Amino acid sequence: MAERKVTVMSEVGLHARPAATFVQTAVQAPFDVTVAKFGVPPVSAKSILSVLALDVRQGETIVISADADGADELLDRLAAIASAP
């Protein structure tokens, strides 16, 4: 299992453009990708409904995970999107 732990820095949190870009990137993966925040079960990073409902605010930390060969490059891209100011 590969994972990245990042703090969301966007003023709007993981909503609007950051959320849409995050999900559009995740859906390109041929394997499952999940995103979780503390105390909340992981949800699919490929679902805009799930990501918006997770309601990640600025300053909150999330864990993005995937269990597949080649997941590292995708997780790096997702981590960069999520941590961009």
Q: Which residues are catalytic?
A: 15
Cβ at position 22, least distance to other proteins in Å? 11
49 binds other proteins per the rule CB under 8 A: yes
Could you say which of 4, 15, 37, 77 contacts other proteins (CB under 8 A)? 15
Burial grade of 84 (CB within 10 A; 0-12, 13-18, 19 or more): middle
Contacts of 11 (CB under 8 A, 6+ apart): 58, 85
Which residues contact other proteins by CB under 8 A? 12, 15-17, 19-21, 24, 47-49, 52-53, 55
